[in-house]
Structure 1
């Protein structure tokens, strides 16, 4: 079965971008949670140095992503039974928050890769896990060709595949394809004849797979979350992962994707708050009525920074709590443990969204007019927060939590819950 999409005509006049080379050496394998945090902290210091300039230039951070994936942090949720570190999700969320505080585009590029790794653990048989986890441990990066523009709802897909025996042929078009540009393998969400969703994992430079660098958002510029055209792309059955199985019962696949999104927002909030404090200390002037010599002694500024700090700490605490709930649900999945994980992640998503937006907006009020100058480029924090927090409406997180508290209704099963 194919769909009525002429991807060849869509690609006319749009040049595809070649994929990156595979790593020449195997990636490092992280030993434990403590090493994961230490490696993330060291990488973040490196990524922070060029983050503002990359944002100005709309640059694609290939050297940084190469360093990130080769560091071993892209295999930290591979199970120990397949040679991986299998760190806690509390640690994984902290890793993403640390990296995202330095450059949230780089943190987001890893998001779908880590989510796919978690899904393979849930839905794939042992042979497929051995094959695909082996790729991940060698440093292979998964991208993402999930979402589509033009469908009525986010969870509806027109991309489909035709079964050809030992392989399938996939046809469709995707957008918001974070990570695809810099990936080695591109998981494509495609439907079978029964309407079930699969991850059809194709080589980045497979014939018929065109990645177009047309991401034009004002925020998260380095993610290159643009278009993927899929014109009769061949995918071997060994690389056809039954994504639908992750949502047919109590599973944590959606909550894993969501906690990483929350961690990115926590990182954006942390970066905005840190830059606010630094600017107020070093560059801002006290208001004329304050009677103070330094802006950092203004009592209203002190109060506002205290408020933001408490809210940032609360968001990070809920992120830790959500990671613990996820670990418990993965160890013993049942309707109640999975619902508890989904609810904890939803609560974390609310507060991380709110602090990312609040801190990146309050920055300018506290730092003053000088902070809006192009030379400072501090507006990148708000642009990143506003763009990334639109991935799923946080108003529905309140509804999920409230409906469970009032009526005992567990959250729905899908990739946004």
Structure 2
């Protein structure tokens, strides 16, 4: 398996506007090969290096450490722009930005300066957070102390981006049964990354498995995690708005693929009495429904981004709860809108859109797979429980 080394000559983005422009430029370059990469499950090493070298992976680094400290609104827009071109590529840096936010909220000044500097220089952070069936703390990945040594032992799955990473932020339970996030070098002895992700969507995200066997780590790589959710922090809302942006972007990509197919290849229904599919009134109305849902979802993502920015600027019980609620609403609608756009692509274009050579089903496979990341029914519950009972959403990474 190929191993990652940071790209040379990484650009440092200086503003929100520059970040948006860079995302648009990269999306235009990523889009032409997205279908082939998905079909052949060809891991996008070259595209990831270009993505990293553009400076976009460093845009949330604070200004005091040399970054642009872009807004959550801009971060979500960047992710959606890339997702419209390639949904898998857009998901890979989600945990990178998540790790940087955990650092910003709970890391020491020295830790923040060190890892922020790495992010600006092109180092990618993956993740090893999830474990299958390990709700019992005793079975979870552990941070063990042996004399003066700290060791990590355990197994992880759904490790999006770990294959491509230079560092793998890993969720562990310490000897006091408290959760910590340990930044572990990808090439550290005892680390094994296995490319065994076989989901029908998001095929090139590198969401495989990571095994840790007596991996020695340094104390300065251990960042408080559990304590960051025992007080109001924007970690959860920021994580979730990125997921909303991925679903939005995939839906926008599906919609963009629908339009030329209708204009150039689809046939009108016989009862429409028109020559072109683009003049079929029911088809046009269906297309309008998709457009409205996507625009509404985009507006909710922007609204949620502003709420997250307020929580970052002043993390209180109120601002963090408001951000969580705004992001929950955005995730609810981006799920609906993304799935609608990917499904309507076929309903409105007809059987010829199912040809394997076009691979248009990748849009539905990608959005269906990604929308399962967290159950959207609990987003509705969080909003309803707050509206009815005044209960704030729980504080964790899935809200």
Same fold per TM (> 0.5)? yes
Displacement after TM superposition at 1:404 (Å): 0.4
User: What SS is found at the alignment partner of 2:69?
Assistant: coil
1:73 paired with 2:20, answer: no
**Structure 2 residue corresponding to 1:367, chosen from 349, 355, 363:** 349
Displacement after TM superposition at 1:158 (Å): 0.5
CA distance in 1, matches of 2:27, 2:190: 36
CA distance in 1, matches of 2:138, 2:243: 21
Contact persistence 1:188–1:199 (CA under 8 A): yes
Query: What are the within-5 Å matches in structure 2 for residues 86-97 of structure 1?
Result: 86-97=69-80
Compute the RMSD of aligned alpha carbons.
Answer: 1.3
Query: What are the within-5 Å matches in structure 2 for residues 136-215 of structure 1?
Result: 136-152=119-135, 158-164=140-146, 167-215=149-197
Contact persistence 1:246–1:252 (CA under 8 A): no
CA distance in 2, matches of 1:100, 1:239: 31
TM (normalized to structure 2)?
Answer: 0.98
**Structure 2 residue corresponding to 1:85, chosen from 68, 73, 85:** 68
CA distance in 1, matches of 2:156, 2:255: 35
1:21 paired with 2:5, answer: yes
Cα displacement string for residues 64-84 of structure 1 (whole angstroms, at most 9, x for unaligned residues) = 111111111111111111111
Cα displacement string for residues 263-309 of structure 1 (whole angstroms, at most 9, x for unaligned residues) = 00000110111111121111101111111111011000111111110
User: What SS is found at the alignment partner of 2:193?
Assistant: strand
Cα displacement string for residues 228-280 of structure 1 (whole angstroms, at most 9, x for unaligned residues) = 01111111111111111221111111111111000000001101111111211
1:400 paired with 2:382, answer: yes
Q: Which runs of 5+ in 1 are unaligned?
A: 1-16
1:264 paired with 2:259, answer: no
Change (3 A) 1:342 1:165: farther
User: What SS is found at the alignment partner of 2:143?
Assistant: strand
Displacement after TM superposition at 1:152 (Å): 4.2
Contact persistence 2:325–2:393 (CA under 8 A): yes
TM (normalized to structure 1)?
Answer: 0.94
Query: What are the within-5 Å matches in structure 2 for residues 235-314 of structure 1?
Result: 235-314=217-296
Match of residue 234 from structure 1: 216
Change (3 A) 1:157 1:298: farther
Contact persistence 1:166–1:237 (CA under 8 A): no
CA distance in 2, matches of 1:68, 1:166: 39
Deviates more, 1:161-170 or 1:316-325: 161-170
Displacement after TM superposition at 1:24 (Å): 3.2
CA distance in 2, matches of 1:51, 1:391: 22
Match of residue 21 from structure 2: 38
Instruction: List structure 1 runs of 4+ shifted beyond 6 angstroms.
Output: none
CA distance in 1, matches of 2:139, 2:100: 22
Change (3 A) 1:18 1:50: closer
CA distance in 1, matches of 2:146, 2:227: 22
Contact persistence 1:20–1:182 (CA under 8 A): yes
1:383 paired with 2:365, answer: yes
**Structure 2 residue corresponding to 1:110, chosen from 72, 79, 93:** 93
